[in-house]
Amino acid sequence: MIACIIDYRVRSGREQQHLAELAPLLDKVKQVPGFISKSSFESPAGDGGWFTVSYWESREALQAWTADPDHRRAMALGKREIFSDFRIMIAEVERDYSWRLGEP
């Protein structure tokens, strides 16, 4: 499993544009073969920071998403108009386990 972590900041005054661009991508990515899940959330620091974490079955699945024309268009628009900075980290998940209340 591959994890993609994106740490980014939105330019002041561009928050609504950011959300408008993000929403259709969150819907579209669910259709990409090999996609597992994706979450986007605002940093509690209140500095305009956002985080997106997505999980993929393989590097090839993630690469298919990064090559998607709508994704590439949104990234180019983001660089021109929305983001003040970003950092993308790709990692292989070595271990994945969970626990739920009521389970041993």
Q: What is the pLDDT along the chain (104 residues), one digit of tens a residue?
A: 999 999 999 998 998 998 899 889 988 999 999 999 998 888 888 777 889 999 999 999 999 999 999 999 999 999 999 999 999 999 999 999 999 999 88
- What domains are there in the chain, each with its CATH number? 2-92 (3.30.70.100)
Report pTM: 0.85
pLDDT of residue 80: 96
Q: What angle do CA 22, 27, 33 make, to 5 degrees?
A: 120
State the Cα–Cα distance between residues 74 and 40, nearest whole angstrom.
15
pLDDT of residue 60: 97
pLDDT of residue 16: 92
State the Cα–Cα distance between residues 24 and 45, nearest whole angstrom.
26
